[in-house]
Amino acid sequence: MRALRRQRLYFILFLVGASCLAGYLIITALDENLNLFISPTQLHQKKVQAGARLRLGGVVKNESLRQEGLHIEFSVTDFNEEVQVFYTGILPDLFKEGQGIVALGVWDGESFRADQVLAKHDENYMPPEVKQLLSEEAR
């Protein structure tokens, strides 16, 4: 009888230990792969160190977009603070002033040097082809 109880106890301890280990591994993996972005206000409040690699999210400020070839400069705002962003490359089709974006890059202490710019759209977005088909069917 005692041997059976001892085996059950070891089995339960093994299950608890394995569950704790699995939970720890899952949380660690999610934490490393979670891609959140920081707003301009958070960037200024947290005093992020120069050279920090992060994602900056916000809205492209109206009348801030300047472009010379592939060199692009614009401001991202959260309507409280703003950050100057420099990017070299081709912008996504949905990119425009007043549009939400997420930029991946490096904070240099005063401005943000983006490697990649992702344009966000709202839940009402519909590709132009689908809009055209729906408007033709409505006629």
> Domain holding 46: CATH number?
2.40.50.140
Answer yes or no: do 84 and 111 share one domain: yes
Phi-psi sector, 87: left (phi>0), alpha (psi -120 to 50), beta:
beta
- pLDDT for 78: 87
- The residue ranking higher by pLDDT, 3 or 129, is 3
**Would you say the C-alpha torsion 30, 32, 37, 40 has a positive or negative sign?**
positive
Range of the domain at 56: 40-119
Domain count, the chain: 2
One-letter amino acid identity for 42?
Answer: Q
Q: What is the pLDDT of residues 65-122, one digit of tens each?
A: 999 988 999 999 988 889 999 999 998 888 888 888 999 999 988 899 999 999 876 6
Answer yes or no: do 64 and 108 share one domain: yes
Locate the DSSP E strands across the chain: 52-60, 66-68, 71-77, 82-88, 100-107, 112-119
Mean pLDDT over the full length of the chain: 84
77 close to 58: Cβ distance less than 8 angstroms: yes
0.95 surpassed by pTM: no
